[in-house]
A and B are shown apart, each in its own frame.
Chain A
C-alpha cells in the first residue's frame, strides 16, 4: 500500500531520521554546526537538493536505462548541488567561504544518493518529492539541534547575536566550536533520540 504523506514525513524526520537512525551525512553534521547561520544555509541547500533530485529521478525513472542509473542520479544531484553552490556564493559570500567545501560534498552525501536509489527510482513524483523534503528536514532537525547547543556554548551567541549580559556571566567553551564539541553533542543527541525511537531500548 502506498505510504501517506504523514507517514513519509514521520519516517524522514523522526523514525528513520538519516542522521541519528541511519548515521548518514555525519561529515557536514560535524563541520557546519558551530554557527547556526551556516547550519541553516547548509540545511536549505540539502533540503533543496534532496527534494529536487528525488523529484527529477522519479519523473525520469521509467526512461533511465537501468545499467547507467547511478551515473544519471549522480549527474542530477551534481547539477542541483552546483546550482545551490552558485546561489550561496552569489547571495551569501561570507558564509560560502566557511561552508563552501561542504556544499560541494553534498554531491557525495549518502542521504541524497540513498533516497534517490531507494525511494525515488521506485515511486511516483509526488511521494518522492515529499520523501526528499522529509529527509532533508530530518537532517536539518538534527543539525539545527546541534548548532543550538554549540553556538551558545562556544561563542556565547545565537545567530551571531550575543546572549544577554554575556560578559557578566558567561565564559565561552572553546571546545564546543572545535570538532570534539560536535562529536559530544551529536553522540548525546543520538543517544537520546534512539532511546526515544528504538523499541528495543524501551524494553
Chain B
C-alpha cells in the first residue's frame, strides 16, 4: 500500500493514536492513587492555613489530623448549590450551644482562564474576613497567578464585609473612592482581569452563602 494513500494515512493515525492514548492512560492509571493523595493533602493544608490551625509537622498526616481535630465539615444544600461549609470547633465553642467558631466555605467562579476555587473563612457573625486561601486556579503564572502570593492573601485578614452596600461592592479588590475603606484590598495588578473576576465571584458567593447559611444553619448535614 502506498504510504500517502488515504487508507494508509487513516490507518496509521488510528494505530498511533490508539498506541499513545493507551500509554498515557496507563501512566495516569498507575499514578491515580498518588494524585488523589496529593489532592487530599493540598485540601487539608489549604484548610489548615485558612483557619490558621496548629499543625504538628509538615506531612500529610499532620495536616489531616489538624483539620480533623479543629474543623467540622458540613454540607449545606440549596436549590442553586451544594455548599461545603467548615466550622472551627474550639474548646470554647464546644462548651456553649450558641457560640460558633469561625465559619468557612468553598467559593468558586470563573477566572480569566479557568475555574478558581478557594476557601474563605469568616468570623462567626459573618461580618469580618479572617482569611482566604486558594484550592485551585489556572491563572497566568507571574500575572493573574499572583493571587496566590502571601502579600495579596494577607490583605484579606480583618477586612470588614460592607453588607449595607450594593451586592457587587461589599468587598472591593482594586481602586475605590475611599482608598482606606475597611472593605477594600489592593488588586494584584491592573494588567489582568483576575482581580476583577475574583471580586465578582467573592461578592456573589458571600451574598448567596449568607442567605443560605442564615436560612439553614440549624440543618447542616455533618459529613460522615
Contacts and interface: CB of A to CB of B under 8 A. Distances in A.
A65 B12 contact: yes
Interface in B1-57: 3-4, 8-9, 12-13, 16-17, 20-21, 23-24, 27-28, 31, 34-35, 38, 41-42
A89 B31 CA distance: 9
A66 interface: yes
A65 B4 contact: yes
B166 interface: no
Contacts of A101: 138, 140-141
B35 A89 contact: yes
Contact of B24 (A60, A83, A90, A98): A83
B12 A86 contact: no
Contacts, number: 60
Contact of B13 (A68, A83, A86, A87): A68
A79 B20 contact: yes
Contacts of B141: 31, 98, 101-102
Interface magnitude class on chain B: 20 to 34
Interface magnitude class on chain A: 20 to 34
Nearest to A68: B9
Binding site of A, secondary structure by majority: helix, strand, loop or mixed?
helix
B22 to A, nearest CB: 10
Nearest to A100: B141
Nearest to A34: B142
A31 B35 contact: no
A15 interface: no
Interface string A95-110: 0001001100000000
A79 B12 contact: no
Interface string A56-68: 0000100111111
Contacts of A89: 31, 35, 38
A87 B41 CA distance: 17
A93 interface: yes
Contact of A90 (B17, B38, B41): B38
A180 to B, nearest CB: 11
Given A75-B16, A179-B142, A65 B38 contact: no
Contacts of A63: 3, 12
Interface in A52-94: 60, 63-68, 71-72, 75-76, 79, 82-83, 86-87, 89-91, 93
9 contacts: A31-B141, A75-B17, A76-B16, A86-B27, A86-B28, A86-B31, A87-B27, A87-B31, A89-B38
Interface of A: 31, 60, 63-68, 71-72, 75-76, 79, 82-83, 86-87, 89-91, 93, 98, 101-102, 179
